[in-house]
Chain A
Amino acid sequence: MYRYDEFDNRLVTERVEQFRRQAERRLAGELTEDQFKPLRLMNGLYLQLHAYMLRINVPYGALSAQQMRQLAHVARTYDKGYGHFTTRQNIQYNWIQLKDVPDALADLAEVEMHGIQSSGNCIRNTTSDQYAGVAKDELEDPRVYCEIIRQWSTLHPEFSFLPRKFKIAVTGAPNDRAAVKLHDIGLRMHRNEAGEAGFEVIVGGGQGRTPFVGKTIREWLAPENLLSYLEAILRVYNFDGRRDNKYKARIKILVHQVGADEFRRRVDEEWEQIKDSALKLPQEEIERINSYFAPPDYAQLEDNTELLASQRAANGEFDAWVSANVADHKVPGYAIVNISLKSLRLPPGDMTAAQMDAVADLADEYSFGELRVNHRQNLVLADVPQGDLLALWEKLAALDLATPNIGRVSDIIACPGLDYCALANARSIPIAQEINQRYQDMDRVNDIGDVTINISGCMNACGHHHVGHIGILGVDKRGKEFYQFTLGGSSDQNASLGDRTGPGFPGDEAVDAVETILNTYLKIRNEGERFLDTYRRVGMPPFKEALYGAS
């Protein structure tokens, strides 16, 4: 993991003091709300339905055990004892008080965490693959470039007042777990014909009211040119992005309106002027940052031992958990463990302070003291010896963190929705919990297999409903909550936006509709076919007919 040096530490400490001063001025009435709002937003402080909400960045999802303990401390000390992990690998506190925020930020700065630019019309948290550094299919570790981008984008003086928010994601594997095609800039590491690692640059992806899959404007970019090229894109966006209409201000609208070719031309024209500037990344800088991500001290372990096989054979629940929640690690004898935050008891992505502390201890004991947050609102212990899986599972189960449902029907992404969020039109958490309740039978869950359900409570799509295999959008229809369905979305390297099924369903019929969709899939699927693949093969008609009857 990256460790702050004196410069990084000084920046966050000064930032805390700056915000403390701004908050005090606001509380004393020296700043109006109009003047204060952009300042608090750029430190991640929103005002929501019930209270202020503080969003803290987890840079590219990387979290240390010590940081997790401090997140628990903040939850206990300044909030109601829990936090919520988001679809951008961040954490949110829903009940924090303005007068406590400077102290909370100071406590977080002690462990190298902050909310800088987690909101506002600036460059947000750069997100990445939760299996970075350990995935079997990985070509290049994206984390080093995420850290380089993080520093370059933090308090960037030229790009702090963009037309709208700006989100960057980086992946280093052919199986894209970071949804790079759905970001303002997506960077996909791969090798060119000469075998050199570089970036495919994808621009203008995004969800919200007008979803788009991003367009490739450059097939291969050398790493040394990463920052200058990003700067060229941002400068073109800063000048040419729309500022007349908040709903048309993202870069995806600009790329769509002028076309990818013209947009590329503008970027290249600007880039020509700056590509040999001080932004050129020296190899030594890349290597210096890369040294922070050196692999841990792996032991020489046997892979897929007989012991593990017998443990799985002896314990059906453990076996189910390994099948669903444990992924292959590139180092023999190790495993990637997904911690499901999708139990029945808590809203998706929520964790109590006690759970956070316990998981921090588990990270220390089983995974070199590190964790990751993924954009599906779950956690990852990336380096667990296979011999420890049984013991770890037992401990996770005791914490209600071992639901064997990763990537399955009850591994639902849900935004906070109308229960918490000032932007929402409908609730999303109760729908997620009802679906979870309906699918408690693990045989059924396993039979259905891979299916992602994403729920958003409004068109801003923080629940990523456009790219769910099944997407659910909550709307307000004459004062009642209705839920519209889309099918066939995907956020991976074959990204697609879901297709609408038809009219929405009232809240008390929404989960029946989910069941109808899944039962239809079970009836018509081919052997071994995932939900998404069945949909792509047969299209909407059978599902439409099942939901609404023959027309």
Chain B
Amino acid sequence: MLQMIIANTLADGFVVFLTDDNSWTNDIAAGALAATDEQAEKLLAIAQKAEQSNLVIDPYLIPVELEGDVRKPTEYREYIRATGPTVPIPS
């Protein structure tokens, strides 16, 4: 099962994903994928350090599946977090 780390940035509150080089990206396509539980644990440990350093809030692992190249969180709530509201932003 594939997993990724999702969190909110402290300063701006936006959704971010942990990347392979221990930084954070708003783009799920650029986030790190954990293929094993061991990899997932490692990512979580890095994320929790970032939380303690006051970079992000409430990081946790989410299951993700691949549709071709596209990463799709399997839980609908996390999918909405990754892609935004399903209704257009008023303008």
A residues contacting B by CB (< 8 A) are 26-29, 33, 47, 49-52, 80-82, 96-99, 345-347, 350-352, 418-420, 424, 427, 429-430, 433, 476, 479, 481
Contacts and interface: CB of A to CB of B under 8 A. Distances in A.
Nearest to A481: B76
B87 A419 contact: yes
Interface of B: 8, 10-15, 51, 53-54, 57-58, 75-77, 80-81, 84-87, 89-91
A326 to B, nearest CB: 25
6 contacts: A47-B13, A97-B11, A98-B13, A419-B80, A420-B85, A429-B87
A50 B84 CA distance: 7
Contacts of A26: 10, 54
Nearest to A49: B81
B40 to A, nearest CB: 21
B77 A350 contact: no
A82 B8 contact: no
Contacts of A345: 90
Chain A CB within 10 Å, residue with most, of B14, B54, B84: B54
A97 B77 contact: no
A507 to B, nearest CB: 11
Given A96-B13, A98-B10, A99-B12, 11 more contacts: A27-B54, A33-B57, A47-B57, A49-B81, A50-B85, A81-B91, A347-B87, A427-B86, A429-B87, A430-B87, A479-B75
B85 to A, nearest CB: 4
Contacts of B57: 33, 47
Contacts of B12: 51-52, 97-99
A419 B91 contact: no
Contacts of A476: 76
B90 A81 contact: yes
A478 to B, nearest CB: 11
B86 A430 contact: yes
Given A33-B57, A419-B87, A430-B86, A27 B10 contact: yes
B7 to A, nearest CB: 11
Nearest to A355: B90
Contacts of A51: 8, 12-15
Contacts of B85: 50, 419-420, 429
Contact of B76 (A81, A347, A418): A418
Nearest to B11: A99
Contacts of B10: 26-27, 98
Contacts of B87: 347, 419, 429-430, 433
Nearest to B15: A50
A51 B51 CA distance: 16
Nearest to A345: B90
Contacts of A52: 12-13
Chain A CB within 10 Å, residue with most, of B15, B51, B86: B86
Chain B CB within 10 Å, residue with most, of A47, A52, A99, A433: A52
A476 B8 CA distance: 24
Contacts of B91: 81-82, 352
B28 to A, nearest CB: 13
Contacts of A346: 90
B86 A419 contact: yes
The 7 closest A-B pairs by CB, nearest first: A52-B13, A419-B85, A82-B90, A97-B12, A29-B54, A51-B13, A346-B90
A476 B79 CA distance: 14
B54 A97 contact: no
Contacts of B80: 49, 418-419
Contact of B11 (A98, A350, A352, A427): A98
Contacts of B75: 479
A53 to B, nearest CB: 8
A52 B13 CA distance: 5
B72 to A, nearest CB: 13
A56 B58 CA distance: 25
A27 B9 CA distance: 11
A412 to B, nearest CB: 14
B63 to A, nearest CB: 11
A47 B10 CA distance: 10
B90 A350 contact: yes
B13 A347 contact: no
Given A29-B54, A418-B77, A50 B14 contact: yes
A27 B76 contact: no
A29 B56 CA distance: 11
A383 B86 CA distance: 38
A352 B91 CA distance: 6
B78 to A, nearest CB: 9
Nearest to A29: B54
A419 B89 CA distance: 11
B81 A80 contact: no
A116 B26 CA distance: 31
Contacts of B86: 419, 427, 430
Nearest to B56: A33
A240 to B, nearest CB: 33
A91 to B, nearest CB: 13
Nearest to B90: A82
A427 B14 CA distance: 20
A476 B76 CA distance: 10
A249 B7 CA distance: 30
Given A47-B57, A420-B85, A352 B90 contact: yes
Contacts of A350: 90
A82 B90 CA distance: 6
A128 B10 CA distance: 36
